[in-house]
Structure 1
Amino acid sequence: MLHITPTPRGIGVKLWGAHEDLNSFYEVIGKYWGEERNLTMTGSENRDKLISSFSYEVRKAFEGQRLKKKIDHSEIDEVQYFGAEISWIHFLFFLAALKFNMRYSETTKFDIAMLLQVEYWLEKAMKDFDEIGARKLIGFIDGGIYEANEYIYHYMRKINMDFVMQGGGKKAFRELPELLEKAVFFTDEYEAYQTFLENEAKRLGCTVNDLEIDDDYVDYEGVKW
């Protein structure tokens, strides 16, 4: 069974599971990666980039290249758990992109059950870290982030960078819904960032998908999760 716990500084969560649990989650994600490209839908490449960056962390987790811990279920039964640290921003945007793609593919009860399990634990992790901040943030699990955003990966990277730079803690966590206004369709923040991306692409003579976020000055490896 998967479970999710908040990181000490509240930058994000630790996604935990036995090898089989994480592998199953990885396989479910894989079913909805790249499917919409066959429909030539706007933003499919951008959504795929977002989903694949998340699934990469899940794969690294069950391969034992991220976090590890052992839990005693009884005196004679010890289970090895594997995990990965994922920011709130990355997790919420991933869910938005995945749900969008699931609309255009056949889903099974297992797929839906897996998604509901993940959403349950993510909501619990929010409440466990800070009940006050969670009240406004939980709604973004089910909606808010514009799923059809053709530049959704770039929005995730920008908002995630802004959040990480705040250094974590309950104050930053409670301000997270305000940062996420940038991802809500028709808000001034959403339209302003879309204009910025399109102008930058025009200036550089490329597409928005070719743009990279300039976050070299952010010390991600030194972040205290």
Structure 2
Amino acid sequence: MLYIIPTKRGIGIELWGAYGDLNNFYEVIGKFWNDEKASEKLGFENRDKLISNFSFEIRKAKDNSRLKRENNHLYPFEEGKYLGTQFSWVHFLFSISALKYNMQFYETNKFDISVILQIEFWLEKAMNSYDETGARNLIPFINDGLHGANEYIYQCMRTTNLEYFLLGGGKKAFRKLPELLKRGIFYTEESMLLS
């Protein structure tokens, strides 16, 4: 089972799962990017760069090159090796948005959708467990609040991520994150400044 928990200082999340869970997630991600035919569409190359970085971290986790633990943090009765990796909230939210946008150009099945829904469920749970007050304003960004078709989505993620890191983490920074993410919403004043 995949699951997500917040990092200690609230900079982001830890994504955990057994090898098979991470491998399945990696394969689902791989279906929705790096396609030469689709790369001609506006912004596709930029989304590919974002999803590629995201996919790289999942691959490194499943290949035992990131975080490791011997049992499931949330369900200690489940034995076995758990592997994980860390993402900032910003990187994770933008990556999921780009991935979901790309999914509309490909054939999807119930398994693909279930994996994405599982990730969304655990992401929301991680937000609430870190800070319910901040999560209330952040959860809408999971459900297509960010503009996945943004032709500069990778650059938008990078600048937002930098600004978030400069806030230094903690609940105060977490509560400011929705304001920073406005640059990823189509037609907001913040997104127009990037154009």
What range describes the TM-score normalised by the shorter chain of this pair?
Answer: over 0.9
> With structure 2 as the length reference, what TM-score do the two structures score?
0.95
Larger gyration radius, structure 1 or structure 2: 1
Within 5 Å, give how 1:22-37 maps onto structure 2.
Answer: 22-35=22-35, 37=37
Name the count of aligned residue pairs.
192
Match of 1:139 in 2: 140
Correspondence 1:180 to 2:154: no
Change (3 A) 1:152 1:146: same
The code of the aligned residue for 1:44 comes to F
User: Is there any run of 5+ residues in structure 1 with no aligned partner, and where?
Assistant: 195-225
The answer as to whether partners of 2:38 and 2:44 remain within 8 angstroms in 1 is no
Correspondence 1:42 to 2:42: yes
SS of residue in 1 equivalent to 2:186 = coil
Q: CA deviation at 1:38?
A: 3.1
The CA RMSD measured in Å over matched residues stands at 1.3
Within 5 Å, give how 1:58-77 maps onto structure 2.
Answer: 58-71=58-71, 74=77
Q: CA deviation at 1:17?
A: 0.2
> With structure 1 as the length reference, what TM-score do the two structures score?
0.82
The answer as to whether partners of 1:35 and 1:105 remain within 8 angstroms in 2 is no
Q: Distance in 2 between matches of 1:176 and 1:14?
A: 18
The answer as to whether partners of 2:183 and 2:191 remain within 8 angstroms in 1 is yes
Q: Distance in 2 between matches of 1:55 and 1:127?
A: 25
Q: Distance in 2 between matches of 1:24 and 1:143?
A: 23
Q: Distance in 2 between matches of 1:52 and 1:11?
A: 21
Q: Distance in 2 between matches of 1:38 and 1:179?
A: 30
Match of 1:7 in 2: 7
Q: Distance in 1 between matches of 2:43 and 2:116?
A: 22
Q: Which runs of 4 or more aligned residues in structure 1 lie more than 6 Å from their structure 2 counterparts after TM superposition? A: none
Q: CA deviation at 1:39?
A: 6.4
The code of the aligned residue for 2:52 comes to S
Q: CA deviation at 1:105?
A: 0.3
Q: Distance in 2 between matches of 1:12 and 1:80?
A: 22
Q: Distance in 1 between matches of 2:29 and 2:124?
A: 19
The answer as to whether partners of 1:70 and 1:80 remain within 8 angstroms in 2 is yes
Q: Distance in 2 between matches of 1:63 and 1:37?
A: 29
Q: Distance in 2 between matches of 1:50 and 1:125?
A: 22
Q: CA deviation at 1:18?
A: 0.3
